[in-house]
């Protein structure tokens, strides 16, 4: 495959690579598989958040096999878009040397919310939907974005 014909590589970065960046990776992988090759990482990776897995499964997107990764795993990779999805990651990682274009779109950290189980799920759903809407608006065009619930 010629370089010009390859899918654009995207790296979504947040602090723990447990929810927002993982959801963004899963959404792009599902919405635009023919155009983008998504990855996600964290500046301080922890573990995949079970609420993120649950709300993505509600949209028929399985991220249960994902793992939290450190941004250093991607330092040698040619990346077209480096996208920070939390303000803290933007401050810690304002420049990613392998990235051709950097973007930032901060989303609330649903894992930081303290409430009942129903309230936590509701926050994760809202953030998932905000990420999906931003992805469709920013990277959309043709794709499944409009049909995904």
Q: pLDDT tens, 42-76? A: 999 999 999 999 999 999 999 999 999 999 999 88
pLDDT score of 1: 42
Range of the domain at 16: 3-137
The enclosing domain of 87 has a CATH number of 3.40.50.2300
Strand order in 99-104's β-sheet? 36-42, 8-14, 79-84, 99-104
Q: Kindly state whether residue 117 falls inside one of the protein's structural domains.
A: yes
Listed range (21-30, 98-107, 121-130) with the worst mean pLDDT: 98-107
Q: Kindly state whether residue 84 falls inside one of the protein's structural domains.
A: yes
pLDDT tier at 2, thresholds 50, 70, 90: very low
Q: Kindly state whether residue 146 falls inside one of the protein's structural domains.
A: no
Q: pLDDT tens, 104-118? A: 899 999 999 999 999
pLDDT score of 37: 96
Q: Kindly state whether residue 145 falls inside one of the protein's structural domains.
A: no
Residue with tokens 């809407």: 133
Q: Kindly state whether residue 147 falls inside one of the protein's structural domains.
A: no
Enumerate the active-site residues. 14, 86, 93
- The count of structural domains within the chain is 1
pLDDT score of 76: 83
pLDDT score of 35: 94
Q: Kindly state whether residue 143 falls inside one of the protein's structural domains.
A: no
pLDDT score of 98: 63
User: CB–CB of 27/45 below 8 Å?
Assistant: no
Which residues neighbour 47 within 8 Å (Cβ) at sequence distance 6 or greater?
16, 18, 68
């Amino acid at each position: 495959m010629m370089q010009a014909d390859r899918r654009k590589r995207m790296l979504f970065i947040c602090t723990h690579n447990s929810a927002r960046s993982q959801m963004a990776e899963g959404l792009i992988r599902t919405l635009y598989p023919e155009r983008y090759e998504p990855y996600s990482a964290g500046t301080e990776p922890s573990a995949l958040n079970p609420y993120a897995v649950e709300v993505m499964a509600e949209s028929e997107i399985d991220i249960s096999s994902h793992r939290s990764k450190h941004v250093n795993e991607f330092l040698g990779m040619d990346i077209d878009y480096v996208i920070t999805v939390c303000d803290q990651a933007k401050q810690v990682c304002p420049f990613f040397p392998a990235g051709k274009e950097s973007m930032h779109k901060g989303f609330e950290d649903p894992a930081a919310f303290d409430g009942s189980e129903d309230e936590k799920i509701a926050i994760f759903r809202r953030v998932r939907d905000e990420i999906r809407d931003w992805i469709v608006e920013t990277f959309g065009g043709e794709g499944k974005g409009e049909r995904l619930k």
